[in-house]
């Protein structure tokens, strides 16, 4: 059996350029980026050995819904010490059992060895408070409810108790880090680190800094994620939904609109995508597809030759930003009548999805 080695089977140890800092005031400045840069650079030196390397050993996961749980699994497999907290105590109680089941699933599929299950579980500790979870953390991954009010409160609490050298990442899929940072004493150490699910299988992660995020924070987050085996992409500007979810949102709106207009059923649209463009999307992005569609003339020929044809399509496409009620009804009907979904429980669908992803990853 071909084995995929999951990232993080040894402690992270990656190089960064040695930096020097001037003396900075003890009292933080709300908006001085130069101070934030100095603070984070000093933090990097504090983590380093001989000033030229960084180690992150202790990670805190705040919020243990399915994304936070998957982050915790990945971090623990990387031999990092992982502390977790969730305001829902019942969810916290289920966490270790859920992760253990996922670990056994990975073992059955040849991704990890049996000894790694015991090792990963030993590295996980559940805490009743944010303070307990973050107090020794080098890095914090927040994955709480997708709300500015909730995230701001959680970030405020994290900053209250976490070491001043620690970096704080948010798993948000659309919210602005500039807004989340408001009111923080040291916004320069905060950055969005948005994964795709399942976190322990999907390579992509988006790094989204704000103007107040230190450049050193962005670089450290990027290298940290690379050390996990992730493929980090840094967004150069803050936009709602970042990159991946904006692309997905465009497809989702058109798919919903086609159902609403009676062009195709829910099942037919899924079939069109999975048996058509999705096959090449596993190894070709949209610009490479466009370039190759232009033949020898490449993307320049494609844009010139097909401009009128694409204008006809784009002129006819939906532009709404709120799903019409009738469209919601039709999509809901389509899902209820979806033959494949009727035949499987949700837990079985998750297992089926992961198995399909594993086969794709082995093939790529």
192, 216, 234 - which closes a domain: 234
Per-residue model confidence as pLDDT tens digits over 259-270? 999 999 999 999
Angle, helices 89-108/114-122, rounded to nearest 10 degrees: 160
Q: Which of 224, 242, 198 is nearest to 355 (CA)?
A: 198
Distances (CA, A) of 100 to 69, 122, 261: 11, 11, 45
Q: Which of 188, 200, 167, 134 is nearest to 54 (CA)?
A: 167
pLDDT of residue 9: 34
- In a shared domain, residues 56 and 197: yes
93 pLDDT band (50/70/90 cuts)?
Answer: confident
- In a shared domain, residues 212 and 261: no
pTM for the whole thing? Answer: 0.84
As given in the structure block, the two tokens for residue 76 are 């623990």
pLDDT at 301 over 90: yes
Q: Concatenate the DSSP letters of all residues of 142-186 into one string.
A: E---S-HHHHHHHHHHHHHHS-TT-EEEE--SS--HHHHHTT-S-
pLDDT at 119 over 90: yes
User: For the chain, what is the radius of gyration of the CA atoms?
Assistant: 23
Stretch 216-220: mean pLDDT, rounded?
96
- In a shared domain, residues 300 and 163: no
As given in the structure block, the two tokens for residue 113 are 């060895």
Measure CA of the first residue to CA of the last residue in the chain; give whole Å: 16
Within a domain: 239: no
State the CATH number of the domain containing residue 118. 3.40.50.720
* Burial class for 185, CB neighbours closer than 10 Å (0-12, 13-18, 19+): middle
- In a shared domain, residues 126 and 214: yes
């Amino acid at each position: 059996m071909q084995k995929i080695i999951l990232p993080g089977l040894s402690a992270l140890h990656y190089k960064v350029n040695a930096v020097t800092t001037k003396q900075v005031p003890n009292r933080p400045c709300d908006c001085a980026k130069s101070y934030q840069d100095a603070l984070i650079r000093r933090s990097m030196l504090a983590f380093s050995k001989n000033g030229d390397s960084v180690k992150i050993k202790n990670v805190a996961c705040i919020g243990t819904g399915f994304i936070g749980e998957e982050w915790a699994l990945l971090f623990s497999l990387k031999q990092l010490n992982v502390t977790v907290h969730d305001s829902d105590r019942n969810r916290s109680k289920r966490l270790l059992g859920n992760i253990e089941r996922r670990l056994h699933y990975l073992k059955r599929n040849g991704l990890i060895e049996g000894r790694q299950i015991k090792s990963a579980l030993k590295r996980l500790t559940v805490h009743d408070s944010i303070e307990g979870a973050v107090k020794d953390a080098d890095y914090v991954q927040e994955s709480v409810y997708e709300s500015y009010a909730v995230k701001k409160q959680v970030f405020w609490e994290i900053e209250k108790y976490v070491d001043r050298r620690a970096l704080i990442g948010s798993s948000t899929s659309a919210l602005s880090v500039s807004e989340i940072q408001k009111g923080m004493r040291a916004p320069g150490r905060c950055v969005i680190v948005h994964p795709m699910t399942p976190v322990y299988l999907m390579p992509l992660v988006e790094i989204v800094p704000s103007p107040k995020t230190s450049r050193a924070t962005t670089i450290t987050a990027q290298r940290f994620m690379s050390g996990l085996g992730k493929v980090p992409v840094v967004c150069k500007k803050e936009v709602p939904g970042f990159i991946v979810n904006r692309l997905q949102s465009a497809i989702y709106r058109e798919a919903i609109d086609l159902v609403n207009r009676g062009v195709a059923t829910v099942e037919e649209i899924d079939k069109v995508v999975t048996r058509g463009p999705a096959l090449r999307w596993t190894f070709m992005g949209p610009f490479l597809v466009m370039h190759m569609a232009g033949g020898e003339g490449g993307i320049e020929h494609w844009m010139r030759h097909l401009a009128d044809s694409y204008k006809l399509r784009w002129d006819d496409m939906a532009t709404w930003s709120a799903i019409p009620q009738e469209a919601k009804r039709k999509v809901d009907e389509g899902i209820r009548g979806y033959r494949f979904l009727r035949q499987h429980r949700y837990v079985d669908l998750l297992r089926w999805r992961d198995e399909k992803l594993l086969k794709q990853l082995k093939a790529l």
